[in-house]
């Protein structure tokens, strides 16, 4: 098993749609990888075309328990007086990226657009995201450890 760091670069979104036409959209993104979760800042007043330019890191074990590791980005609309509204989500499958990272020492998906779909599976805009995976390089001293104890050189 390889352990590494996945860096997610949340760039921006375009054409986000909302069923409520009376309110402006104050979007934010909840990014989930397995049991880990990060939340972007709220793009207050930026409406349907917000810019975030934020980076988030996740600890990755590959291969892990699931056969098809994925990153889920849920786009939400922050509401002050009521609960936040779900605008849509996109899912990015990571198996190929993680395999390349393990093989080459690092792998990158440059920032690109991913379609956002709402709860009725209708197109609800695009979100632009880049992802980098870098396996952690093991320290050479680990090779001399036995059951957590280092062998003494007497």
Question: Helix (H) and strand (E) counts for the chain?
Answer: 1, 10
Q: What is the pLDDT of residues 42-84, one digit of tens each?
A: 999 899 999 999 999 999 998 877 778 999 999 999 988 889 9
CATH classification at residue 46: 2.60.40.150
Domain coverage including residue 19: 2-135
> Residue 15 falls within a domain, yes or no?
yes
Q: With bands split at pLDDT 50, 70 and 90, how would you rate the model's confidence at 19? A: low
> Residue 36 falls within a domain, yes or no?
yes
Averaged pLDDT score across all residues of the chain: 88
> Residue 150 falls within a domain, yes or no?
no
> Residue 154 falls within a domain, yes or no?
no
Domain count, the chain: 1
Cα dihedral sign, 144-146-152-153: negative
pLDDT of residue 22: 63
Instruction: Determine which of 32-46, 56-70, 106-120 has the lowest per-residue pLDDT on average.
Output: 56-70
Q: With bands split at pLDDT 50, 70 and 90, how would you rate the model's confidence at 37? A: very high
> Residue 151 falls within a domain, yes or no?
no
Q: How far apart are CA 103 and CA 131, in angstroms?
A: 16
pLDDT of residue 138: 58
Q: Tell me if 95 sits within 8 A of 68, measured CB to CB.
A: yes
Residues 6+ apart with CB under 8 A from 44: 26, 78
Q: With bands split at pLDDT 50, 70 and 90, how would you rate the model's confidence at 148? A: low
Q: Tell me if 9 sits within 8 A of 130, measured CB to CB.
A: yes
């Amino acid at each position: 098993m390889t352990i590494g760091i996945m860096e997610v670069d949340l760039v921006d979104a375009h054409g986000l749609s909302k069923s409520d036409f009376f309110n402006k959209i104050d979007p934010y993104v909840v990014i989930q990888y397995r049991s880990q979760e990060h939340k972007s800042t709220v793009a207050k007043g930026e409406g349907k075309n917000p810019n975030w330019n934020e980076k988030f890191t996740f600890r990755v074990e590959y291969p892990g328990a699931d056969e098809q590791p994925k990153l889920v980005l849920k786009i939400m609309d922050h509401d002050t007086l009521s609960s936040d509204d779900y605008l849509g989500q996109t899912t990015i499958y990571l198996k190929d990226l993680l395999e390349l990272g393990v093989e080459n020492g690092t792998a990158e998906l440059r920032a690109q657009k991913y379609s956002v779909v709402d709860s009725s599976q209708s197109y609800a805009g695009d979100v632009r995201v880049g992802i980098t995976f870098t396996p952690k390089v093991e320290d050479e001293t680990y090779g001399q450890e036995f059951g957590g104890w280092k062998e003494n050189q007497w």
